């Protein structure tokens, strides 16, 4: 079982819809990362959080440490939001190589 599980694996929605991507992890973390990867493109860090909630534009990330669960929300989704969204956890301690989920492939149709 992967230490980081994401759902759904694939998500297709209409422009304007509210999007939620979920991430669960099985062991403790130093921080939980949300990343975005466009087809053929590099990986961009969206959020890094260890508690509570963060917001950037139309993106919101939340985390519940007790439940070992995080969500990424996109409000007023747009076709340019189409990408793979990846959840990753830092292991804590001095070394912080990330453990990644398999990603959620999001397609926003106009």
Partner 1 sequence: GAGVSQTPSNKVTEKGKYVELRCDPISGHTALYWYRQSLGQGPEFLIYFQGTGAADDSGLPNDRFFAVRPEGSVSTLKIQRTERGDSAVYLCASSLGLAGGEEQFFGPGTRLTVL
Q: In sequence order, what DSSP letters do the residues of the chain get, joined into one string? A: --SEEEE-SEEEEETT--EEEEEEESS--S-EEEEEE-TT--EEEEEEESSEEEEETTEEEEEETTTTEEEEEESS--GGG-EEEEEEEE--SS---EEE---EEEEEE-
Verify binding: residue 21, partner 1, rule CB under 8 A: no
Site for partner 1 in 42-61 (CB under 8 A): 42-45, 48, 50
CB of 79 to partner 1, least distance (A): 22
CB of 16 to partner 1, least distance (A): 28
Verify binding: residue 39, partner 1, rule CB under 8 A: no
The residues binding partner 1 (CB under 8 A) are: 4, 29-31, 33, 35, 41-45, 48, 50, 86, 88, 90-103
């Amino acid at each position: 079982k992967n230490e980081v599980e994401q759902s759904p694996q694939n998500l297709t929605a209409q422009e304007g819809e509210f999007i939620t991507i979920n991430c669960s992890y099985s062991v403790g973390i130093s921080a939980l990362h949300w990343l975005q990867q466009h087809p053929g493109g590099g990986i961009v860090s969206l959020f890094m959080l260890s508690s509570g909630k963060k917001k950037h534009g139309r993106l919101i990330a939340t985390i519940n440490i007790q439940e070992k669960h995080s969500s990424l929300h996109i409000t007023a989704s747009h076709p340019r939001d189409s990408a793979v969204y990846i959840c990753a956890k830092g292991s804590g301690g001095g070394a912080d190589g990330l453990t990644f989920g398999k990603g959620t492939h999001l397609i926003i149709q106009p």
